[in-house]
Amino acid sequence: MLLLKIDCADFLLEVIYILNRFAESANVECSPDLFSIAVTHHSLELNVAFQMMPEFFTLFYSHKSHVSKILLSPLYYTIRRMQYFNIPLAALYVLRRPERLNLKFTPPGNEMPLLRNMSMTQTMKGHMGQINLETFVSIDSEVFRRMVIEFRGYVVYVHLTSSNVTFSIEIKDIVLEQEEGECIIGGTEGELTDFLIPLCPWHVFYTITYHSRRVWLFKAIDRSTMIVAPVGLYAQYAMHFPLG
């Protein structure tokens, strides 16, 4: 069972809306330490997750780990309805036969709980790679937003040294210098590091930058790339690009 109390329904609805722009279905994963909604882009090899720690919620309890695949639209409208009726407390149960998620909403006072059933399907394969946290570049979200506009819709080549980072496509380059305070670089140790990041769909990446103060790009051990955009102290967007 998963028990949640949500005081940030508006923001969570916006997150679900953003993820729905990537895909119709999502893996909903819960454990005692994490609640995650993850999608795989329908055409790109791109995995996107919004990960929330227990502290993100007013109340969080999960007695064991579980993952299910559900459609995002019903989840969106269920939470929206929950918000409309001022219901802050939700309990999620997994029904094995038939395969369904049962959402139980508890209104304030002694009113009868509301029940919503959501169909489950086979979970998607979502792999976030083996991330090397020592090799990274971090930039201000406002700078990343400018890059999204400049390179909209492209897969961008990233060239990282110990002193600067270059983002480029065939016709354009953007260079950020660490000495000028334009970026933070770690883990290169004098070596050159190259990888790719997707900025498609560009409008989704653009919106995400308004939720985070900084964006972190990590080079994975398996040559893939991770983009992490922290949201406060207890949540983050994590985007994994396997072909990096």
Q: Are residues 20 and 109 in the same domain?
A: yes
* Per-residue model confidence (pLDDT) at position 203: 83
Query: Do 144 and 194 belong to one domain?
Result: yes
> What is the reported pLDDT for 134?
73
Q: Return left, alpha or beta for 72; rule: phi > 0 is left, psi -120 to 50 is alpha, else beta.
A: alpha
pLDDT tens digits for range 37-74: 999 887 777 889 999 999 998 888 887 787 888 889 98
Q: Is 131 left (phi over 0), alpha (psi -120 to 50) or beta?
A: beta
- 88 in any annotated domain: yes
Find all residues with CB under 8 Å of 167, minimum gap 6, and list them.
147, 151, 156, 157, 158, 173, 174, 175, 176
Residue whose tokens read 């990041």: 197
Q: What is the 3-state secondary structure (H, E, C) of 29-94?
A: EEECCEEEEEEECCCCCCEEEEEECHHHCCEEEECCCEEEEEEHHHHHHHHHHHHHCCCCEEEEEE
Q: What is the pLDDT along the chain (244 residues), one digit of tens a residue?
A: 677 777 777 888 999 999 998 889 998 888 899 999 999 887 777 889 999 999 998 888 887 787 888 889 988 988 888 777 777 666 665 555 555 666 776 666 666 666 666 665 555 555 555 566 678 999 999 999 999 999 987 889 999 888 999 999 988 999 999 999 999 998 766 566 788 888 888 888 889 989 999 999 988 776 678 899 999 999 999 998 876 5
183 and 135 in a common domain? yes
- 147 shares its domain with 89: no
Same-domain check for residues 108 and 152: no
DSSP H or E stretch at residue 149:
helix 141-150
Same domain, residue pair 181 and 113: no
What are the backbone angles phi and psi of residue 73, rounded to the nearest 5°?
Answer: -60, -50
Domain boundary among 97, 119, 141: 119
Domain for residue 124, yes or no?
A: no
pLDDT of residue 123: 52
Domain extent, residue 171, equals 131-241
Q: How many domains does the chain have?
A: 2
What's the CATH number where 84 sits?
A: 3.10.150.10
pLDDT score of 60: 86
Q: pLDDT at position 101, please?
A: 66
| 113 and 179 both lie in a single domain | no
